[in-house]
Amino acid sequence: MQLTTVGKEVLRGAQKARELQEAGAGDPTVQDRLRKLKQVEALRKYRVGWPEIEELLGISRATYYRWRKRLKEEGLAGLKPRSRRPQRLRRRIYWSSDLLIRVEALRKENPTWGRWPIWLTLRKEGFAVSERTVGRILAYLEGQGRIERVAGFLARTRRGKSKRRAPRPYAQRKPPGYEVKAPGDLVQIDTLSVNLGPGEEVKHFSAVELSTRLAWAAVHRRATAQTAAGFLRELVDRSPFPIRAVQVDGGSEFMAAFEEGCQALGIRLFVLPPRSPKLNGHVERIQRTFRDEFYTRPLPTRVGEIQAELEDYLAYYNGHRPHMALEGLAPLEFLAKLQAESVPQESQMC
């Protein structure tokens, strides 16, 4: 019988290889991080800046120093990817069976109810529960398949994920420092749907200039980009001063042909952020005036006849109707006052 022994150096080498493997020497992520550390050190010797290093290697300054510290303290094991699990997790609260059953029953009886009406009903029935807890219970029941999501919420979620806004080649957000200093600096435009009777609906275009409150309006059967572009051309032709900028919301009628019309006429186009009608407050307010003062009177159903009566009302509004923001003057009267005040200043400058 022959015995074979292994030398100490071979045993030490095998042990060292095993230790390196356990430390992560064979891990591709560890090797990649180690290589990046060496590359950063080489680049820093040539005084390469951190922005260029981050662009070349995809490693930030903070990450480099964090990896280097771990390598120094823990060796190769410090370069292993660590768990991203939060140290503190919210503990699940187990609700009473009576509460779960009641929430489920209320939701099935009222499929469109959200957490607030269910919470209010539970409070009236004596359940000591918060509105947020009701929301968590509803989410839990939906995840278990015991109730269905509200149809409107599901539709909004799907629409929000799939719908993308078309790019605007010319329109922009109004700059923060943009100020209205003279007539024509900014005109707000919007549309209004008016129901004249069963099956009789018209689209009302409104525009108001901010410094003089001068108003324009037109009626059409449809609110399209072509009709909006035509309304813009009428504004430019009928305005007693040049129009330098207009502001609209994100409606489709203010895209395409309307945007091209603004660009062709050299008029700046400002578009409001989503869900911000308050930023178009002047035209929103004048549309309420049209609804209260013009569309409450008996009107014909033909668009041309409505437009004729609307022109008469605009003549009254701009020429005679007193405006509180204009010191009791009508828009055209206030414009004449501004022009009269600017004439002496120009003569003094000459």
pLDDT of residue 342: 81
Same domain, 146 and 204: no
**194: pLDDT strictly greater than 60:** yes
Q: Quick one: average pLDDT of 157-175?
A: 70
Question: What's the rounded Cα separation, in Å, for the pair 305 and 302?
Answer: 5
Number of folded domains in the chain? 3
Q: Quick one: average pLDDT of 11-38?
A: 69
pLDDT of residue 286: 95
Domain that holds residue 51: 23-79
In the 8-state DSSP scheme, what is residue 273?
A: P
Among candidate residues 214, 220, 218, the one with its CA nearest the CA of residue 243: 214
Same domain, 192 and 324: yes
Is position 5 within any domain?
Answer: no
**118: pLDDT strictly greater than 70:** yes
Same domain, 191 and 330: yes
Cβ atoms of 257 and 229 within 8 Å: the answer is yes
pLDDT of residue 104: 93
Is position 247 within any domain?
Answer: yes
pTM for this structure? 0.55
Same domain, 230 and 307: yes
* CA geometry: angle 127, 133, 136, nearest 5 deg: 135
Highest mean pLDDT among 41-45, 187-191, 297-301: 187-191
Is position 96 within any domain?
Answer: no
pLDDT in tens, 125-141: 999 999 999 999 999 89
Mean of per-residue pLDDT scores for the chain: 86
**178: pLDDT strictly greater than 50:** yes
Question: What's the rounded Cα separation, in Å, for the pair 254 and 225?
Answer: 6
Cβ atoms of 314 and 281 within 8 Å: the answer is no
Question: What's the rounded Cα separation, in Å, for the pair 175 and 172?
Answer: 8
The percentage of residues in the chain with a pLDDT greater than 70, rounded to a whole number, is: 85
pLDDT of residue 21: 54
Same domain, 331 and 207: yes
Q: Which of 60-64, 129-133, 172-176, 194-198 has the lowest mean pLDDT?
A: 194-198
pLDDT in tens, 204-215: 999 999 999 999
**350: pLDDT strictly greater than 60:** no
pLDDT of residue 301: 85
Q: Quick one: average pLDDT of 216-245?
A: 96
**228: pLDDT strictly greater than 90:** yes
**Both structure tokens of 69:** 């510290």
**155: pLDDT strictly greater than 50:** no
Cβ atoms of 148 and 111 within 8 Å: the answer is yes
Same domain, 259 and 293: yes
Residue 349 pLDDT grade (very low, low, confident, very high; cuts 50, 70, 90): low
**116: pLDDT strictly greater than 60:** yes
Is position 55 within any domain?
Answer: yes
pLDDT of residue 4: 46
Same domain, 150 and 265: no
Cβ atoms of 162 and 266 within 8 Å: the answer is no
Same domain, 228 and 327: yes
**Both structure tokens of 158:** 């799907």
Same domain, 304 and 193: yes
Same domain, 65 and 142: no
Which one has a higher pLDDT value, 163 or 121? 121
Same domain, 192 and 43: no
Is position 331 within any domain?
Answer: yes
